[in-house]
Structure 1
Amino acid sequence: MSNPDTQPDSVSSVMKVFGILQALGDEHEIGITELSQRVLMSKSTVYRFLQTMKSLGYVSQDGDNDKYSLTLKLFELGAKALQHVDLIRIADKQMRQLSGLTRETIHLGAFEDDSIVYIHKIDSQYHLRMHSRIGRRNPLHSTAIGKVLMAWRDREEALTILRRCELRTFTANTITDLSQLELVLDTVKAQGFAEDREEMEEGVYCIAVPIFDRFGHITAALSISFPAVRFNDAQQAEYVAMLHSAAKAICIESGFTGYPF
């Protein structure tokens, strides 16, 4: 392998971290001397990175022999990625059916780093439509998907997350008061769906419902987004019913049969 110390500064630390992780992955346990030889770094550099990884929970150290090994934290991260891959595959059929019925934009969103991230999307068949992309992040407080992801989370955990978020004002309808937002989360969970009534973007309306993993934990949200000019309140029940039907089918195929709506 190439010597990480000769790489540009912008990538050197990343190269070193992944080099160490890869070497640790090849061995059940390994000491600093052997590890430094494998990754072509000084023992002091390897030690510094190992201590950081240890503090973050990715590496453990055997007190008896001072050897290091990987923890299951990387496995957990990989499992989350695989979970999203499986979820996207399962959800795609239902999302395409929703798209055919409504001709509107269909999103699948998940929680990541105090935001929502769109992990799958079916574009609207109309010229006038919501502009978004897979991988785009949006706030929790001003989106229907974000409200769903917080409403079915442990309430104290949800409030802790929201407290560290910047509750920015995007339109005149954006809710930025945490107490008011908590009341909205109560309503969302009681009625089984969340709305974004032009709270993120003027002229854009969105309805979202929860999706649960096989253990019954909130894992994602499914939504329909459309221009407000193409919506009236009489359509709400129809769209919510469609979303619940699709979300229930996704949950069942994922191994959860207790969808509550």
Structure 2
Amino acid sequence: MQQPIRRRGRPRGTKTLQQPPTIQALDRAIDVLEALASHQGMTLSELAAHLEQSIATMHRVLAALERRNYVESSGERQEWFVGAEAFRLGSAFLRRTNIVESTRSVMRDLMASSGETSNLGIERDGDVLFVSQVETHESIRAFFPPGTRAPLHASGIGKALLSAFDDERLEVFLRTAALAGFTERTITTASELRDAVKQIRERGYSLDDEERIIGMRCVGATIFNGYGDAVAGISVSGPTIRMPDARVLELGSWVVKAAAEASRTLGARL
């Protein structure tokens, strides 16, 4: 009798799974990299406690990653850090687009004219992913290193990107997004966020008014490519003491101008 046809790539006798199988060693290695990326150095014992794993297990994972230069150890406390190879691998994501390279001079000019830190972010999985920053020379400044994420509804770039959503996509977001509160100023209702988006579309720039961090403000605008797609957002951020209400309008005009210039470098016709 003819044997039933078996799909390639699935072991004999394996049933269809509701969830994809995991590789424990790979999961642990990724957990280690993510933990180190979110901390400014961790000792072996700190890492083991943070991930709720044994010291012996974490030592084996770190040793394997160190051999490939994905982690490195330094300092008197023998702290572990993300290594150069992890940075090189992560940089492949940025090489998929020329946004970072094309907007670098625009960001430098924006920082010089405004005196505040300029930021570049893109939308990923319902968050803003910061991919580039030019820091101000002021001692008190905002700091969003590449790889930092922020929710769309509570960031200047995020709200600028939301303003570029068509109405249907915006309504889907408003129905499904968890509008978490971070400060007493955070927008946490769909009606408030809908009104904020309408205002952004009218004036051309967004404002994060201490909605994620008390004492910090951010003014953002959307960057478009040659097809008219919103591909990124650019912003300036700084302490409220240097960004009072009277200065927001001026900063908004600079950010809108920078966004337009960055859009033109990507082929947009404005």
Specify if TM > 0.5. yes
SS across alignment from 2:154: coil
What is residue 268 of structure 2 aligned with on the other side?
Answer: 256
CA RMSD of aligned residues (A): 2.6
What is residue 221 of structure 1 aligned with on the other side?
Answer: 233
2:11 alignment partner, one of 21, 36, 42: 42
Is 2:150 aligned against 1:138?
Answer: yes
Is 2:215 aligned against 1:212?
Answer: no
Q: Which has the higher helix share?
A: 1
Q: Is the 8 A contact 2:121 2:157 kept in 1?
A: yes
Task: Return closer, same or farther for 1:208/1:83 CA change in 2, 3 Å cut-off.
Answer: farther
Is 2:116 aligned against 1:147?
Answer: no
Task: Return closer, same or farther for 1:211/1:32 CA change in 2, 3 Å cut-off.
Answer: farther
Task: Return closer, same or farther for 1:84/1:202 CA change in 2, 3 Å cut-off.
Answer: farther
SS across alignment from 1:163: helix
Is 2:136 aligned against 1:124?
Answer: yes
Deviations 1:186-214 (A, max 9, x none): 11011101001111110000100111111
- Amino acid of the residue matched to residue 249 of structure 1? E
Distance 2:226 2:95 in 1: 11
Distance 1:138 1:178 in 2: 18
Query: TM-score w.r.t. structure 1 length?
Result: 0.67
The offset of 1:119, in angstroms, is: 1.3
SS across alignment from 1:230: coil
Distance 1:96 1:43 in 2: 58
What is residue 157 of structure 1 aligned with on the other side?
Answer: 169
SS across alignment from 2:184: coil
Task: Return closer, same or farther for 1:249/1:43 CA change in 2, 3 Å cut-off.
Answer: farther
Structure 1, unpaired ranges of 5+: 1-30, 53-80
- Amino acid of the residue matched to residue 218 of structure 2? C
What is residue 170 of structure 1 aligned with on the other side?
Answer: 182
What is residue 71 of structure 2 aligned with on the other side?
Answer: none
Distance 1:162 1:115 in 2: 14
The offset of 1:131, in angstroms, is: 2.8
| More displaced stretch, 95-104 vs 214-223 | 95-104
Deviations 1:67-86 (A, max 9, x none): xxxxxxxxxxxxxx568630
Spell out structure 1 runs of 4+ moving beyond 4 A.
81-84
- Amino acid of the residue matched to residue 103 of structure 1? G
The offset of 1:233, in angstroms, is: 2.5
Task: Return closer, same or farther for 1:257/1:202 CA change in 2, 3 Å cut-off.
Answer: same
Deviations 1:140-185 (A, max 9, x none): 1111111111111112212212332221111111111111110110
Deviations 1:52-106 (A, max 9, x none): 8xxxxxxxxxxxxxxxxxxxxxxxxxxxx56863011101110011122223111
Distance 2:192 2:111 in 1: 33
Q: Is the 8 A contact 2:116 2:141 kept in 1?
A: yes
What is residue 26 of structure 1 aligned with on the other side?
Answer: none
Structure 2, unpaired ranges of 5+: 21-92
The offset of 1:232, in angstroms, is: 2.3
Distance 1:251 1:83 in 2: 18
The offset of 1:117, in angstroms, is: 0.9
The offset of 1:44, in angstroms, is: 6.3
SS across alignment from 1:168: coil
- Amino acid of the residue matched to residue 178 of structure 2? E
- Amino acid of the residue matched to residue 176 of structure 2? R
Task: Return closer, same or farther for 1:82/1:201 CA change in 2, 3 Å cut-off.
Answer: closer
Q: Is the 8 A contact 2:94 2:100 kept in 1?
A: no
Task: Return closer, same or farther for 1:32/1:91 CA change in 2, 3 Å cut-off.
Answer: farther
What is residue 87 of structure 1 aligned with on the other side?
Answer: 99
What is residue 199 of structure 1 aligned with on the other side?
Answer: 211
Aligned length: 194
Task: Return closer, same or farther for 1:154/1:43 CA change in 2, 3 Å cut-off.
Answer: farther
Task: Return closer, same or farther for 1:257/1:44 CA change in 2, 3 Å cut-off.
Answer: farther
